[in-house]
Amino acid sequence: MKNQIKTILLFGLLTGLFLAIGNLLAGVQGLTIALILALAFNFGAYWFSDKIVLSMYRAKETNDLKLINMVKQVSQKAGLPMPKVYMIDSDNPNAFATGRNPKISAIAFTTGIVDLLNEKELKGVIAHELSHIKNRDTLIATIAASIAAGISYIAMIARWSAIFGGFSSSDKKRGSGFEVLFLTVLTPVIATLIRLAISRSREYFADEKAAETIDDPVALADALIKLDNHSKKNPMMFGNRATASLFIVNPFSGKSFLELLSTHPNVEKRVGKLKKIGMKND
């Protein structure tokens, strides 16, 4: 519940920021145009993002019966329809879920994760990805990314307008001094930080729900430790960093960054929370 409330508050903050800069830049007219653009981005991402991301990672539907049966077993425990199962040819041990709703969904696994994890750990990962599907985290991430992209787009227009004197006198009165600086420089940074915070909160929530589904939080904790260690040694060699938040651990980074700038929570914190859940269940 804590992570759900946090996500709602962050969305409210992101939306409020979006409305504020639209009004600052061009009043009601600018706000209306920005909202139309954001809706168009969301519509396209909602309907086509699953196909785009699966194609980006050259994912192919698998006939691995052992893996398919594991996904089927955990799906039944989670009370979800069976998603399609895809395989990605990569040594980076990872997995992600995609799809706009539980009836139209897929889980993609790398060959690296299937080779690395034992059955219990793999089921923990499957439960985590199914939690993303059940709670429509793909949709949440898409909306957050679209709003953040819209904010960055508006800020870019504002910067070029300021450079070439595109603001009218009324615009200057509405957005002068610190307001213009805030719009053109600070808002994209703030929007990105909020989007990343939303991504991290959904990872914590998916971990929690996965532990409930398989009733084995330690298995998921062990999987996360393995994935984090091996992913740093074998980062993903293709794909797009903008999609990093989809994966159970960051597939691209071999170094540790400030958590504030990360798509994922610190693995030690995730493991700690899962072990606390395990202690409560004992």
Determine how many CB atoms are found less than 10 A away from the CB of residue 51: 12
In terms of Cα–Cα distance, which of 92, 93, 85, 91 is closest to 54? 85
Task: Name, in order, each residue with C-beta under 8 angstroms of 243's C-beta and a sequence gap of 6 or more.
Answer: 53, 56, 96
- Return the residue matching tokens 């980062």: 235
3-state class (DSSP) for residue 81: coil
DSSP sequence for 9-59: HHHHHHHHHHHHHHHHHHHHHHHHHHHHHHHHHHHHHHHHHHHHHHHHTT-
Task: At 248, list the tokens.
Answer: 């159970």
Runs of H (alpha helix) within the chain: 2-56, 65-78, 111-116, 119-134, 137-163, 169-174, 178-181, 187-214, 217-233, 267-281
- Picking from 245, 258, 231, 225, the residue whose alpha carbon sits closest to that of residue 92 is 231
Residues marked active site are found at: 129
* Rounded Cα distance, 201 and 203, in Å: 5
Tell me if 38 sits within 8 A of 17, measured CB to CB. no
- Kindly provide the b/e burial profile for residues 143-163, where b requires at least 16 CB atoms within 10 angstroms of the residue's own CB: bbbbbbbbbeebbebbbebbe
